[in-house]
Copies of this chain bind each other. A is one copy, B any other.
Amino acid sequence: MLGRVNHIAIAVPDLSVAAASYRDTLGARISQPQALPEHGVTVVFVELDNTKIELLEPLGDDSPIRSFLEKNPSGGMHHICYEVQDILASRDQLSQAGARVLGSGEPKIGAHGKPVLFLHPKDFQGTLIELEQV
């Protein structure tokens, strides 16, 4: 089921500081910041040779990463996104195996304009998993 790692997301308290850290200190290529109000985040992508890092800063009061940053004020690794071929088939297979899909269970359109779902971290050793149909 799992294809490529599409991205690894890191929640950060200050996106400009984090972006500068990856660009200047670690010498990586980064994107311009993109505000995604419908997802409650502003994002900068760190472009690596085989995948990317998604730096996430909360946007708005209802940001889904706000509680994570309250628990981890310095920031931290937030989720891993894997590509799948058929998100509905993956969802049904996972549900039958007893894994919990977050929210309504219906895919939403993610930050890359493609259908995504999130799986409950308690079912996967404390790791929040995003599935993205490619």
Contact A74 B27 (CB under 8 A): no
**How many A residues touch B, CB cutoff 8 Å?**
45
CB-CB < 8 A to A18: which residues of B? 125
Q: A46 — nearest CB in chain B belongs to which residue?
A: B2
Q: Which of B3, B46, B49, B93 contacts A48 (CB 8 A)?
A: B3
- Give the complex CA separation of A122 and B12 in angstroms: 12
CB-CB < 8 A to A46: which residues of B? 2
Contact A99 B48 (CB under 8 A): no
Q: Would you give the shortest CB distance from A29 to chain B, in whole angstroms?
A: 9
Contact B122 A74 (CB under 8 A): yes
- Give the complex CA separation of A63 and B121 in angstroms: 24
Q: Would you give the shortest CB distance from A65 to chain B, in whole angstroms?
A: 12
Interface string of A1-15 (1 = CB under 8 A from B): 111110010101100
Contact A8 B50 (CB under 8 A): no
- Give the complex CA separation of A125 and B50 in angstroms: 22
Q: A98 — nearest CB in chain B belongs to which residue?
A: B25
